[in-house]
Amino acid sequence: MPVVAVVGLQWGDEGKGKVIDLFAEAADTVVRHGGGANAGHTLRVGDETFVVHLLPSGVLHPQTECVLAQGMVLDLGVLLEEVDLLESRGIAVLPRLFISEKAHVVLPHHKAIDAAREAQFAAIGTTKRGIGPAYEDKVGRRGVRVEDCAQRPLLAERLERNLRGWEAEALQLGVPLPSVGELTEALRLVWERLAPRVVATDRRLWDQIETGRKILLEGAQGALLDIDDGTYPYVTSSHVSAAAACAYAGLPAQCLDRVVGVTKAYCTRVGEGPFPTELDASASASLRALGGEFGATTGRPRRCGWLDLETLRTTCRRNGIDALVVTKLDVLDTLDRIGVKRAQDASAERLVQHQGWNCPTHHLRTFADLPEQAATFLRMIESDAATPLMLTSVGPERHSNIGETDCFKGLPTGGYRRPRYTFGG
């Protein structure tokens, strides 16, 4: 303790990376716990821009331990590329990296099958990073875990079984499967470098919780992409909720001291699926241009629309959000009218037009300095979401913010917060 979880409240790309990078200034450990290289987080520090897919967004701070926990599906080649890129830019990563032995490995045919399904069937609009097939193997009990890479005969056995499971579909899709030998050789090369970084990350985190280190659980994707709670079947293949953060990090359920939810001041989505407040093509393109809304992983244009406070209220309740972060307020600076779907008053027209503020907010650092209409807009979000606003982001840079930047502030240190049962007590 203290442990803070950060959760995306929309369809991903809410600006979680920027927020985690900021929060990580005060953290000892940052944990990615679900998903894989489908995530893409853009971090802006001074004149430099960094994009991470697998490494936690807190990686830029040299004091942080970076954990890739058991709920993840890891493309080990992509991971090493990311490590090497950051190290070439002067950031030492490997000595601070801890990889769960229980995380699953994304294999080349996972990516090929993901891409072929997208091309040949009713598409979800996946990132083609092999996430779905890797999680299918995990629940089908034919997946390859990180720890398997350490044991040659066992690895070959697991790979053989894995490949057998894909034979029929690969044939149908026309995807050539690699041989066990090819896979073993590719894994051997990355394993040589990563093996020393593989540990029981869950035990390591339990120890850290007991000694009062500050732990940040970094959510990827967003609540509306959750495999159960999202807009199924147009979702990712993992759980994205705050509750899942505990399971995926291997932590006890009562460990969370605070859950912070991140939402944009408007809404975006990449890939297919429903989007009730989506703008028409030309208005969507205008908002996309203002917000620079292109995917950090695939470069795809993001679909744009207005903020849906009715859904936000629900996702806040489902995730037990204690504090809200609203990002990209500055993107709305030049709009005369800002649409927003209200959460309350079922009889009234839900999609209302909020008056714009027509002046820059990027340079502002206090709530009191915000133009009145911007302040009213934020208060409306807070009220409809029934969740207090903690921080507003007014630019992509680490310190372009208004509000509280220390997510651990006021939290108890040491031990679990709930008293334990005492017999007869």
Chain residues that interact with Mg ion, rule: CB under 5 A: 13, 40, 296
**Residue nearer to ligand IMO on the CB measure, 298 or 383:** 298
Say if CB 381 and CB 368 are below 8 A apart: no
Give the footprint of ligand IMO on residues 325-364 (CB under 6 A).
none
- 41 noted as active-site residue: yes
> What is the per-residue DSSP string for 273-324?
S--TTBPPHHHHHHHHHHHT-B-TTT-PBPEEE-EEHHHHHHHHHHHT-SEE
Query: Applying CB under 6 A, does 236 fall inside the site for ligand IMO?
Result: yes
CB atoms closer than 10 angstroms to residue 411 = 15
In angstroms, what is the minimal distance from the CB of 294 to ligand IMO?
11
Query: Applying CB under 6 A, does 40 fall inside the site for ligand IMO?
Result: yes
Query: Applying CB under 6 A, does 328 fall inside the site for ligand GDP?
Result: yes
Query: CB-based burial of residue 225 (10 Å sphere; 0-12 exposed, 13-18 middle, 19+ buried)?
Result: buried
- 109 noted as active-site residue: no
Residue 411 CA: distances (Å) to CA of 126, 145, 214, 324, 405: 38, 35, 10, 16, 14
Query: How far apart are the C-alpha atoms of 243 and 245, rounded to whole Å?
Result: 5
Give the footprint of ligand IMO on residues 121-140 (CB under 6 A).
124-127, 129, 131-132
Binds ligand IMO (CB under 6 A): choice among 79, 225, 338, 389: 225
Query: Applying CB under 6 A, does 303 fall inside the site for ligand GDP?
Result: no
Query: Applying CB under 6 A, does 262 fall inside the site for ligand IMO?
Result: no
Binds ligand GDP (CB under 6 A): choice among 35, 37, 38, 41: 41
**Residue nearer to ligand GDP on the CB measure, 315 or 393:** 393
**Residue nearer to ligand IMO on the CB measure, 125 or 403:** 125
Residue 187 CA: distances (Å) to CA of 21, 170, 232: 31, 21, 33
Query: Applying CB under 6 A, does 261 fall inside the site for ligand GDP?
Result: no
Query: Applying CB under 6 A, does 5 fall inside the site for ligand IMO?
Result: no
Q: Looking at 21, 28, 33, 41, which residue is catalytic?
A: 41
Number of residues that bind ligand GDP (CB under 6 A): 22
Site track for ligand IMO across 267-306, x = CB under 6 A: ---xx-----------------------------------
Query: How far apart are the C-alpha atoms of 127 and 297, rounded to whole Å?
Result: 7
Binding-site ranges for ligand GDP (CB under 6 A): 8, 12-18, 40-42, 44, 292, 296, 327-328, 330-331, 393-396
Catalytic residues: 13, 41
